[in-house]
Chain A
Amino acid sequence: MTDEDLEAHARATAALLGLPIAPHQMPGVIAGLKVAVAAAALIERVPLTEAEEAAPVFRA
């Protein structure tokens, strides 16, 4: 994933959210996304069965 790819993702998603991102903020946003991409790579490798639920449980 290149910086250009991450910037393109940031621009498209921010537009969807109505979230302005100024040019001086973009390098930090890209750096933050790189941290998230690395974390996501770790959790993606965990084999989960379809029966494994998310941690928070709602109690009515």
Chain B
Amino acid sequence: MILTIISFIVAIATIIHVWKVRPFSTGICVVTSIGLLLLGWIGTIIYWIYILQGEKTSPKKTFNPTKGMEQALQFNGEPVPKPIKLRQDIAASLLVFTDIYWLIRLIAPLCGINLAISHILDSYIVYLPFLIAWGILCSIASNKVSRIASLIIIVFALIMLMPIETSPLTFAIFNIIKPLSLIYAYSLIIRSSNSISNGDKSWINTIIVFVIGGFFYTLFSLLFKDIDMQYSVTNPSSGFILWNIITYLFLAVAEYRMAKCAVFADSNDSEPTSKGVYSPLNKYLAATLISISTVLILMFLVYGNVDAIENIF
């Protein structure tokens, strides 16, 4: 509930900001404001109906897996109570919605449709459901490690929702810290429990890989500022947009699988999987550093010899 209240405060702050800056016409401003508040209300209603009602029927502290087995559904061999499954479904749907939205934003211009949605509104449409989803997941996290991971992602979502104007340097530093903290959070989720199936693990790993991939873009845009657009992957003829489309499809499946995995089954799994589970010096950090350095070295090789390369064809 606290998260919902915070979301509303941020929503109202954004609306005030939008009205002050007025990036588009008054009519669109009104529709946007109503839309934002409506989205907040929908979130609150969903929260109230499913989560609070779920709490009443299945109090967390007295949860007994054998009680009410007729309502329980099989999941990875473990029974998942219906109220918990409902929360998982809601969170999964919200996360999938964010990916589908980005996908539509990507495909619409290709079909000649100009959605004319501002960056602020984009952030709200994506990060408010994202925030609500992670609030739900945090409430059904099985142990302390996964709860901390959820909280890191919630903080990230809240920052993304803040209409803050920063200097380019602060923005660049944030863009470097953001993927690193997300990679750490997702790696905590994977390492928080031994009960995640191999299939789910492979999909959560995919999310980490895509976050690392996003990091490539960030560093590329920071280090290769002077590259002509026609030589970069942003050149439409490179076909890289196909990979962007595939990315969102993968992310939609991966986030769905993650929300439905054993970590978020409220199973009171308090056993730490390994010692040093919180250590950031793990293979995920190694993967980030090695892949990024490889990509950057190869990029330097390509962009250091652009003229020679372009003469090949």
- Chains A and B come from one and the same complex: no
Q: Which residues of A contact B (CB under 8 A)?
A: none
Q: Which residues of B contact A (CB under 8 A)?
A: none
